[in-house]
Structure 1
Amino acid sequence: MSYGLDSSYPLERIRADFPILAQMVRGKRLAYLDNAATTQKPRAVIEAISRYYETSNANVHRAVHELAERATTQYEGARDRIARFFNAQREEVVFTRGSTEAINLVAYSFLRPLLKAGDEILVTGMEHHSNIVPWQLVAAERGASVLAAPVLDDGSLDFEGWKKLLSERTRFIAVVHVSNTLGTVNPVAEIIREAQARGIPVLVDGAQAVAHLPVDFAALGADFYTLSAHKLYGPTGFGCLLGRRERLEAMPPWHGGGDMIKTVSFAGSTWAEPPYRFEAGTPDMAGAIGLAAALDYVEALGLEQIAAQEHRVLEYATPRLREIPGLRLIGTATGKGGILSFVLEGAHAQDVGSILDMEGVAVRTGHHCTMPLMARYGVSATTRASLACYNGEDDIDQLVAALHKAVRLLRS
């Protein structure tokens, strides 16, 4: 599908919602294109967090005074909001510090007790390190192994190659929904169907998906789905594990401490029901409230409208980048998300990023926590521009002009 640039999209109004975008950087207009690393925060989220600290700050679940009641109501109300947004039961929403902690929770609490020598964990060659290393750790401990399905030249998953790796030894499947380096949107529904036919549990890493695609946890059918608030216009250091209720009920605690128990004695302890079983200690109340406010903001804009704008900008950007001498795009899969990773011939990504920064363009450089994927393409690093709801063609014009300057400087 081709998206023409849409003058009806309220880009300037949306930008006005994000205070940080009004500033100048290096004397230039800020073109923020590092959204795959973290999105900026709308005023509604900032104000929701500030309002909580100014009016309702108290520990939750532990006291009967007015502030504690307010804090608990807002905190648990945030869980309800998150559950509605992703069509999950509230008991299926476990609060974590982000996708990384959510994946580790599943690795240690769910998978580790099930693994035995010779078992296999199947991932893909485009996974973020946080969806590789936890599986390697528990696999090494149990004598199991981690297999990676191949990635095709255009950045899409070799689905037939993935299916060939399925066997009676496959104990668990983990797959990224949207690649943070390539923008590839994986066929997670098909993967889940293949897994379910064989009785294999599936975790989907949704960190890069939830700000761009609608996610219906109940309909998707995954056993686990992870997300990070800061990639969804929410605060840093907060996220969620969405887990099937029956899976969570069968899992032991991972962290021990306050608020995750039913009873405690020196003879032994018993555990609270999910999700509280996995939420030891004083939680991040402001993080939950901030994510709920971010979901309100995204829902008001409409995910379909956001996705359409990002696709329009991506289609505007792709041919313009291809015109730059010596530029090679990494990841060109059909239907990809708003991520543009590239290398410039004869130039290190860090040098390219530094020149872009001098022109007010914020991008990410490096391996993006996907070192196996870098090896697959024979590069050590890429420069990555990534899109969000507040990006437009002027951001791409600024990026392209800065890249032309980089070509001149690096080859002079």
Structure 2
Amino acid sequence: MFCPQCGNQLEDDASFCGKCGAQLGGGAAQKKGTPSVASAVPAPVDTGTGAAAAGVMKAHGKLIVAGVVALVVVVAVIAGVVSMLTGGSTLGQTTDTVRHAFEIQQPYLAETPSGDYTNDSPYSVTSFEVTDMKVQNDGWLTAQVKAVVENDSFSVALTYGMDYYPYPDTAYRSPDQTGEYVFELMSSSVMPKKGIDKDEANGVAGEGLELNAETGTCQTTVDKTYQFWFADAVSSKTVTYAVGDSGWYIENEDTARKVTYKDLDGEYRAKTGDLTKLAQFTISGLNAETGTFTITYKVNGWSDEASWGTPDSYSEASGTLTAAIEPTTSDYEGQSDGYSYYFEAQGDSDHGSRQASLSGYLIQSDDGSKAIEIDSMSIGQDETSGWNGEVTSTVFDGTGTLYKQ
């Protein structure tokens, strides 16, 4: 049955309601499922029993509520103590506190590019993010830090692993020193904001070079002209700069040279030495683009090989040779452009073996004279030797310097 006052379900033989304390009479409560019929309910007679029961139930309810409140208070106290001891879930650290430490320590200065090709300018933190903060079991904090630092030339994206070790309360420290921060670099990426500012060796100064945004590189072309008595040489060097972790560096150098030959045609004579036997040494037909030319020569003079049974004899030889200049960077002392202008010539002789060859260098003498240095010569000659008139073939192999007349 149900209490007519509060509707609480009761035992069929209950004499009062355990919830509201109402005293029950015959027919005052209804059985479950029986429709309620409105009727006058006589005023309950206070015998003391109902009031006592109601007092017991009320006291029991108060004890339950008090117990719940006490439990809540205990949980709150425990949470507060833990929070006080640990500084919350991050030991009191926030993005702002970590950034403050980061900007003071400036660990990024060890990772930023050098200024070999750029003007000096200070770095500043333009972006900062702290994620994955975790308090470890032994009371220290780990996190990941992502930062972007920039100056006038570069933007550097950095990722660090961070450890934070809180100082004990008894430690001697200033008020803003709550612990030790350790930043360990995990990755970095350097992006140029503009091209290089300077490279004295390659003539870059002033406004510097323009950055190619698509390739992240910049280029310069350096032209330099060298003038010699026998040629004008123009060196055109294209230098490509790229960016790595350490900043700008020279990625590639392509050098193109153009040599125009001149003023070689003419007569040449030796002042001393074996080459004084050259009665003629003439260069003609110079090709200014290819550096080829023709040599006409004549050798004459008395033999130096006279001995008993081998009388002195007069010998001569003449012929033509075709020569070609080949600039080289050999160990031989070169010109101011770093090249030696070497030539080889092959031809014929009208005596002896009928062959002739020579090689040498185009040089600028110390006194400014136009000269050719012969370092190898082989020209067939005839020399009569012996008492029986036998003809023996010999070779003229003089070396030395020939000067243009």
TM-score calculated relative to the size of structure 1: 0.14
Of Structure 1 and Structure 2, the greater strand share is in 2
Q: Which has the bigger relative contact order, CA under 8 A and spacing at least 6?
A: 1
Of Structure 1 and Structure 2, the greater helix share is in 1
Larger Cα Rg: Structure 1 or Structure 2?
2
TM-score calculated relative to the size of structure 2: 0.14
